Each structure stands twice: as C-alpha cells, then as structure tokens.
C-alpha cells in the first residue's frame, strides 16, 4: 500500500473514533479509558483479521481455489456460534436466556428480524472480503458507521459535539481522498 492509502485509512478510522468519543452525553459524563481501550483493541483485531483474510486468499489462490463469500460467512458464523455456546454455557447463561425468551414470546419476532438484517448485511461484507482487499473492506465498514451516525443525527434529531463533527470531517476527507484516487486511476485507464 502507498503512504496515501495508509493516511486515508487512518483518517477514516481516526475520524470514526473521534465521532464515537465526541457524542454529546448527559452532563458530567466523559469517555472512559476502558471505552478507548475497546476502540483500540477493535482496530488492532480488525488489522489482524484482515491480515489472516489476505493470507487465506493468497493460499487458496495458490491451490487454485477461489473462496466464495458464503464460504467465509458459513465458517465465521459457525465458529462464532460455537464460541457463543461455550461462553454462555461456561457463564451459565443458556438456561436464563431460554427462560427469558419463553417468558417474553414477543421477542422472537425481533430476534428473527435482527437475524435477517444481520444475514443481509453480512452477505455484503463477505462479498467484499472475497472479492476485494482488506483495505476496501475497512473503508466500506467505517464509511457505513459514519453514515449511520449522520442518519441518526438528521432523522432522529440526535446532536453531536464540535469534536464529533471534526471527526466526521476527518473521516469524510479520507473517504473523499480515496474516491478521488480511484476516480483518477479510472480516468487515466480510459
């Protein structure tokens, strides 16, 4: 990757982190160090995951196999499900969870809606993983987060501090810079 591409991703991710920390909250509340640690950990794990995905795609390409989006999706969800079952079993949460669902049957329709929305969203994510490089995926997912915040502000009337708006400006500058680079490359190709 070029220095410009690293700077674009840093601007997008940094802007998103600033937005998360710059949301207006009730009086007296502030961002905690635990929250910042979670953001940093999330970004580190995104980088580690991207490296594994890229290596997996290179190895399968050498073997003459092109991974399909639903292969990634199936195996990821299978291991996530097994992990969730093991952790909830270890924490003794399976019984209380089932009891809650039994006592509140109206939650099933919400669970189904959430699952369908999750599956549709994951289809797009895993398509991007299978067909593009990790940098594109990082840009797509972070851009989605920025637009979710903007939609929340404009449709729901939520507010954002000046710090939050500066984070949006930083992230948007990274997105626009990436778009300009891509558009410039396509114009030269023609």
Tell me the pLDDT tens digit for each residue of 133-178.
777 777 777 778 778 878 888 888 888 888 888 888 888 888 888 7
Beta bridge partners of 23: 160
Going by pLDDT thresholds of 50, 70 and 90, the confidence category of residue 112 is very high
Tokens representing 59 are 């190895």
Going by pLDDT thresholds of 50, 70 and 90, the confidence category of residue 24 is low
Residues 6+ away with beta carbon under 8 Å from 5:
135, 178, 181
Rounded distance between C-alpha atoms, residue 78 and residue 125, angstroms: 16
Tell me the pLDDT tens digit for each residue of 52-69.
777 888 888 888 888 788
Looking at residue 27, its pLDDT comes to 46
How far lies 72's CA from each of 69, 112, 187, in Å?
5, 22, 33
Looking at residue 190, its pLDDT comes to 47
Q: How many Cβ atoms from other residues are within 10 Å of residue 85's Cβ?
A: 11
**Model confidence, pTM:** 0.62
Rounded distance between C-alpha atoms, residue 69 and residue 21, angstroms: 33
Looking at residue 26, its pLDDT comes to 53
């Amino acid at each position: 990757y070029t220095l410009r591409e690293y700077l674009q991703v840093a601007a997008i991710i940094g802007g998103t982190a600033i937005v998360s920390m710059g949301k207006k909250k009730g009086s007296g509340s502030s961002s905690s160090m635990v929250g910042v640690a979670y953001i940093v950990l999330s970004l580190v794990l995104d980088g580690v995951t991207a490296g594994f995905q890229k290596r997996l795609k290179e190895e399968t390409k050498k073997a003459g196999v092109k991974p399909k989006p639903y292969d990634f999706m199936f195996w990821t969800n299978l291991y996530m499900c097994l992990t969730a079952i093991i952790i909830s079993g270890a924490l003794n949460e399976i019984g209380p969870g089932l009891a809650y669902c039994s006592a509140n049957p109206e939650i099933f329709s919400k669970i189904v809606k959430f699952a369908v929305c999750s599956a549709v969203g994951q289809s797009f994510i895993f398509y991007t993983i299978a067909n593009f490089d990790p940098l594109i995926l990082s840009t797509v997912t972070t851009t989605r987060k920025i637009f979710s915040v903007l939609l929340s502000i404009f449709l729901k009337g939520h507010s954002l501090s000046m710090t939050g708006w500066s984070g949006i400006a930083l992230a948007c500058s990274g997105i626009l810079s990436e778009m300009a680079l891509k558009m410039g490359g396509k114009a030269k190709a023609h």
